[in-house]
A and B are shown apart, each in its own frame.
Chain A
Amino acid sequence: DVKVTQSSRYLVKRTGEKVFLECVQDMDHENMFWYRQDPGLGLRLIYFSYDVKMKEKGDIPEGYSVSREKKERFSLILESASTNQTSMYLCASSLEPGAGNQPQHFGDGTRLSIL
């Protein structure tokens, strides 16, 4: 069965810290995504990757970076955490070709609080 695993369900960090959120998929998917989900705003795409070492900015990349050194792992990095980055973070993966006809498979999310 399809499996996307996010390393933490809940995380509490302090302002200014560097924060790493990890995501692993076991489906050999080419595409991986990071979203944040906020009440009333739905899901917003932060970054995505369509291959190892490749990355593309999504709709709200400011304050974030990503790393994809291996096909199965996609990391989201908050360079210097701020309180407005408190949110639910969702990782997803999909097969090629593209997002147009391949559904995305989601992890259970990481609820991040920045104090």
Chain B
Amino acid sequence: AQSVTQLDSHVSVSEGTPVLLRCNYSSSYSPSLFWYVQHPNKGLQLLLKYTSAATLVKGINGFEAEFKKSETSFHLTKPSAHMSDAAEYFCVVSPYSGGGADGLTFGKGTHLIIQP
């Protein structure tokens, strides 16, 4: 069984300040982990993914995430927020099964608000 918990439903930061979106997971396997972003009235876009290679993963638009097995965390960070970062962010976990089409578990999302 697996689960994912996004610790904050809303995060508000000022433009130009750092962003931290927190995600904790549980999985019976060595998981694959993803962060997706959803802008208003749009589908989900992949930001980055971790699949058991380097623990620090760099994604698009200056975002990165660090896989910490001891803390079962996969927090998303960005050094300096931009107004265009305002969106909903989803942390996603999957067992590293290597086959089959199922198994993704989505967090409930964190709404990122950027103050001017």
* Chain A residues at the B interface, C-beta cutoff of 8 Å: 4, 9, 30-31, 33, 40-45, 48-50, 56, 58, 90, 92, 94, 96-101, 103-109
Residue of B nearest to A33 (CB): B101
Residue of A nearest to B31 (CB): A100
Kindly provide the distance from the CB of B33 to the nearest chain A CB, expressed in whole angstroms: 10
Asked if A97 meets B99 with Cβ closer than 8 Å, knowing A106-B43, A107-B43, the reply is: yes
Residue of B nearest to A54 (CB): B101
Residue of A nearest to B109 (CB): A42
Greatest chain B CB density within 10 A among A45, A49, A104 is at A104
The answer for the CA separation of A93 and B98 in the assembled complex, in Å, is 16
Binds A, one of B63-71, B73-81, B88-96: B88-96
* Cβ contacts B90-116/A at 8 Å (1 or 0 each): 100011111111111011110000000
Verify B101–A43 contact, CB threshold 8 A.
Answer: no
Residue of A nearest to B29 (CB): A100
